[in-house]
Amino acid sequence: MSLPILLTVDDDPSVSRAVARDLRRRYGRDYRVMRAGSGADALDALREIKLRGETVAAILADYRMPRMNGIEFLEQAMDLFPHARRALLTAYADTEAAIQAINVVDVDHYLLKPWDPPEEKLYPVVDALVETWRAVGDRSVEEIKVVGHRWSEPSYRVRDFLARNAVPYRWYSVDEPEGRRLLEAAAAGPDDIPVVITPDGQALSRPSGTEIASAAGLSTDPAGEFYDLIVVGGGPAGLGAAVYGASEGLRTVLVEKKATGGQAGQSSRIENYLGFPDGVSGAQLTDRARRQARKFGAEVLTARGVVALETRGSARVVRFEDGSEIAAHSIVLATGVMYRALDAEGCADLTGRGVYYGSASTEAQACEDEDVYIVGGANSAGQAAVFFSRHARSVTLLVRGKDLAQSMSHYLIEQIRAIDNIDVRLRTSVVAARGDRHLEELTLCEAGSGRTETVPTGHVFVFIGAAPHTDWLGDTLTRDAHGFVCTGPDLLVEGHRPAGWTLDRDPYYLESSVPGVFVAGDVRAQSVKRVASAVGEGAMAVTLVHRYLEER
């Protein structure tokens, strides 16, 4: 019997040869690697393969090809080999097109070029493709379906949750015939949206985060009751702590309420992170860190909100929203910060319906040829402005301060200046948002003059302030006036240790007012609000955890 085929399609001969070479090196014994220089040539090859009765396991197609791009090719290739797994080769600038292709033509993965080293960037993706192909054979791949309304805030929350957790799904609007048919089959109506339909056919109306996570196959229940280390929060600091904790032999569990990556996970492109000279998206960085943590044996729990932290003898206990709890010898608190709500008339009612907090990549396609507004003057706002400039007709950055240099990195300021469709308006804030079913206009106010202006728009993305999510701690840990958790030297008042401190030593640098509870990343008072420093603090916290455990 002939070997199944791995087909690559790229109009650049050097890229085509390189990907075929790398594929043969790893898969040559079990698969026949073929390559084509255009979509048309590839379709001819697939027709011949079909006539010979051979099978195609996976197809890797370049996105930017003349006459027929990768998405158009894959649409036609599906008619010939509907069960072959599909991946899109793309440059960073076309990442959003690749993400949208997941819904358009059932693309399983996308790969950014260049993929060096292939052991890290190419082979894990192709491994997943061929494993899926082997597992399902000629059966269709199971998928999650979401039925909702574009301007429904609960529908947006479901889509955002799935996208941020890298869960492929298919979106159906209730305004489309297929969406209405699915609602009818689920015995649901417009008042029940969003409806999430699981791969086994179960319909969930207005599901909770835990229900969505379970439907998506994400882990929500801990495997044990006691660990060496509990990491609360899955941003860069939490992921760093989980990777280093698990790799150094600690029984580690990471608990995240929404999606790993935190605010950094929503960044369209981080260019000043060490080791990534061409930049890296927050989603890519998060996915690698999550896989790395799991590789070393860390558990990752999603959609589990922690509501209390307690001390019971030498154990440190966290309690979940449903009343269940887990305990450990030590805890790393890395809950990060949230964007502050925009204090403007009408914004609260339009959240998720034109007013968004963070860079909502799920809305990028809807912003095509639209006028988009970004509120904020720090790096996250600048990155969002650059990202949406590739989709929107115009992007206006609204900055309350007098210049960008106060809060934004120089490289990002220079990028923004070089993009023609980005306009920066300084000393300007939003005072009102209005719309019927969704956002339709903003009222802006210019500081100093007090002059107001009403502008039409359907999309505003907010990146202001940094509010720590620490109210649930109550009086358990010492916090500053803004809610950030105090650690190490900041806990010493005139040389005295914090009240209730039980050890005959001062708190370690990242240690809170409760021994064995460490704090890393943006939630820590006096921390540097950068991805690299958060990862470093996560790693440093694990070193201090080891010191603490040696004392016991």
pLDDT tens digits for range 307-324: 999 999 999 999 999 999
Pairing of strands 109-112, 144-148: unpaired
- Over residues 123-147, the pLDDT tens digits come to 888 998 898 888 776 544 557 889 9
pLDDT at 530: 85
Segment 433-490, tens digit of pLDDT: 999 989 999 999 999 888 999 999 999 999 997 789 899 999 999 999 999 999 999 9
pLDDT band for position 99 (cuts 50, 70, 90) = low
Task: Parse the chain into domains and list their residue ranges.
Answer: 5-136, 144-215, 226-337+468-551, 348-462
Task: Supply the pLDDT for residue 469.
Answer: 86
Half-sphere exposure of 382 (CA within 13 A, CB side): 21
Bigger pLDDT: 268 vs 487: 487
pLDDT at residue number 426: 95
Q: How far is CA 519 from the centre of its chain?
A: 22
336 three-class SS: coil
Q: How confident is the model at residue 101 (pLDDT cuts 50, 70, 90)?
A: low
Q: Rounded mean pLDDT of 506-521?
A: 96
Pick the CATH number of 348-462 from 3.30.1490.20, 3.30.70.360, 3.40.50.2300, 3.50.50.60: 3.50.50.60
Q: Map tokens 């960008």 to a residue.
A: 404
Residue 233 is which amino acid? G
Q: Which pLDDT value is given to residue 240?
A: 96
Is the confidence at residue 58, as pLDDT, over 70? Answer: yes
Phi/psi of residue 194, each to 5°? -75, 150
pLDDT of 98 reads: 58
Residue 107 has pLDDT above 60, yes or no: yes
Least confident residue range of 73-77, 134-138, 200-204, 251-255: 134-138
Above 90 in pLDDT, residue 280? no
What pLDDT, on the 0 to 100 scale, is given for residue 284? Answer: 76
**Fold exhibited by the domain 5-136:** Rossmann fold (3.40.50)
pLDDT of residue 125: 87
| Higher per-residue confidence, 421 vs 182 | 421
d(CA 288, CA 119): 13
pLDDT average, residue stretch 199-216: 87
- Give the largest CA-CA distance in the chain: 84
Q: What is the pLDDT of residue 117?
A: 83
Give the highest mean pLDDT range of 82-86, 91-95, 162-166. 82-86
CATH fit for domain 226-337+468-551, picks 3.50.50.60, 3.20.20.70, 2.60.40.10, 3.40.190.150: 3.50.50.60
For residue 257, what are the contacts with CB-CB under 8 A and spacing of at least 6?
A: 209, 303, 304, 305, 306
The pLDDT value recorded for residue 121 is 80
Q: Please name the fold of domain 144-215.
A: Glutaredoxin (3.40.30)
Is 0.85 topped by the overall pTM? no
Residue 44 dihedral angles phi and psi, to the nearest 5° = -60, -40
How many Å apart are CA 128 and CA 116, to the nearest integer? Answer: 18
Q: What is the pLDDT of residue 54?
A: 85
| 5-136 and 226-337+468-551 share one fold | no
**Which residues 6+ apart lie within 8 Å of 485 measured at CB?**
333, 468, 470, 473, 477, 478, 479, 512, 519, 523, 524, 525
pLDDT digits (tens, 9 = 90+) for 386-399: 989 988 999 999 99
pLDDT band (50, 70, 90) for residue 513:
very high
Cα separation, 22 vs 40, whole angstroms: 24
Mean pLDDT, the chain, whole residue set: 88
CA 286 to chain centroid, in Å, comes to 7
5 within 8 A of 56, measured Cβ to Cβ: yes
Residues 367 and 387: beta-carbon distance below 8 Å: no
Distance CA 529, CA 188 (A): 45
pLDDT at 92: 56
